[in-house]
Amino acid sequence: MDDINAMIIGQNIARMLSETGHTQRELADFCGVHPSTPSAWVLGKKAPRPTKLAKICEFFGCTLQELLQPKSEGKSYYMEEYAAELAQLLYEHPDYKVLFDAVRTVKKEDLEFVKDFIDRLRGRN
């Protein structure tokens, strides 16, 4: 599975955890994986194996399609559109990924600060 699919799955797992109030530890216990494994999934560092995808779907009561599809309609993960746009910019550019750790209530100024900081470190204006 490629990095893009791993990121989509990770974003969907993070969203579903938030929506259901479950923890990564509960997901790990249910799936029979090491407690740190869901964190790697959420961060897109690795994708769940096919057998674990089925367990994740069972845990959340969702379909495989819901888990694999980018969330394109309805409520955004971010509360504000500017946060989604800046987070996407940070996500799409490898130089910014190193500090990308967006949270749902992130402020516009905080995302801009991270981007500007990395630009300054790289000697860009």
Same domain, 31 and 55: yes
Domain total of the chain? 2
Given this model, what pLDDT does residue 74 score?
Answer: 52
Whether residue 75 lies inside any domain: the answer is no
CATH number of the domain that 29 lies in? 1.10.260.40
Quote the domain boundaries for residue 64. Answer: 3-68
Whether residue 76 lies inside any domain: the answer is no
Q: What is the mean predicted confidence (pLDDT) over 36-62?
A: 93
Given this model, what pLDDT does residue 94 score?
Answer: 66
Same domain, 59 and 14: yes
DSSP letter at 111?
H
pLDDT exceeding 90 applies to what percent of the chain? 42
Helix (H, G, I), strand (E, B) or coil at 106: coil
Distances 110 to 6, 30, 99, 113, 114 between C-alpha atoms, Å: 26, 35, 12, 5, 6
Same domain, 62 and 112: no
Given this model, what pLDDT does residue 78 score?
Answer: 61
Q: Are 12 and 67 in contact (CB under 8 A)?
A: yes
Q: What is the mean predicted confidence (pLDDT) over 7-34?
A: 94
Could you give the CA distance from residue 104 to residue 107 in angstroms, rounded to a whole number? 9
For residue 17, the Cα-to-chain-centroid distance in whole angstroms is 11
Same domain, 22 and 61: yes
